[in-house]
Amino acid sequence: MDFGKRELAYRYDTDHKVILPFTCSAVQTPSTFAGERRIAVRLAKTVKIANNTNQVLRVTVDADEGTTGIFLPKPSSKRHLLMAPTVRTVRDGLVSVAVLNVDGKREKLPAREALGTWVPTDETMELLSMSGELERDRVKEWEMKLRKDDAAPLTAEAKLHIGEMEPADKDLVVAVLRQYAEIVNKKPGCPPLANTEVQHHINTGDAAPIMLRRRRHAVFENSVMDKNWC
């Protein structure tokens, strides 16, 4: 395929050469979706994210007040900072973005740092609501079913890093953790069950077994070696 000549050439049998001309045309990309350009999402001020925490950041968006759009995180070398596409509405020129730091160190994001892009929605797009499985009343009902009468407070419960949430939601999360205190609390001589490696058997039936690439953990923290060195 020659894009310069805009021709697709191939041979039919050995004696015939077929040349098919084609044209190139522009297609609608996410950058021009809904007739709008992508808007950069930047931090309003310098933010420090603690290790192993979930933090809600306020970022600036150059869009009209009350406009609803989709936040798309950009690829970054900081893979320990997890962000997900989120539907948000602009309030006072800002939108909220949740960032999860899964690394064992603090991270500093400077002001005006571009975290991703924001694509406005239009009337042709239908935003589906959540199923409601995680509504507070339904989670509370589920927690009441598994409640233990002798559930004691967790060790160092006041120092738990749960993230930024409403007090009622935080109390509900703590209540659920109390039901599983045996896998969260530390025990003498061994780490909590939540921190130990768990292996599950996967029955593939008649299909071929699942083969994973062998890896060895390097000496450096949070690094993985893809090669086996002799």
Residue 152 lies in a domain: yes
Taking only the tens of pLDDT, the chain with its 230 residues reads 776 677 788 776 677 777 888 776 544 444 444 445 577 778 878 888 887 777 888 888 888 888 888 888 887 767 778 888 888 888 888 888 888 887 667 888 877 778 888 888 876 777 766 667 667 788 778 777 776 666 777 777 777 777 677 788 888 878 877 777 666 566 666 655 555 555 556 666 676 665 655 555 444 555 555 555 54
What's the full length of the chain, in residues? 230
Contact (CB, 8 A) for 106 and 51: yes
Residue 167 lies in a domain: yes
Q: How far is CA 229 from the centre of its chain?
A: 33
52 and 94 belong to one structural domain = yes
Q: Is the pTM of this model over 0.75?
A: no
Contact (CB, 8 A) for 223 and 103: no
Interstrand relation of 7-12 and 53-60 (parallel, antiparallel or unpaired): unpaired
Tell me the torsion sign for CA atoms 167, 168, 171, 173.
Answer: negative
Secondary structure (DSSP) of 128-161: PPP-STT-HHHHHHHHHHT--TT-PPPTTGGG--
Last residue of a domain, one of 120, 144, 174: 120
Number of domains in the chain: 2
Which domain, by its residues, includes 95?
31-120
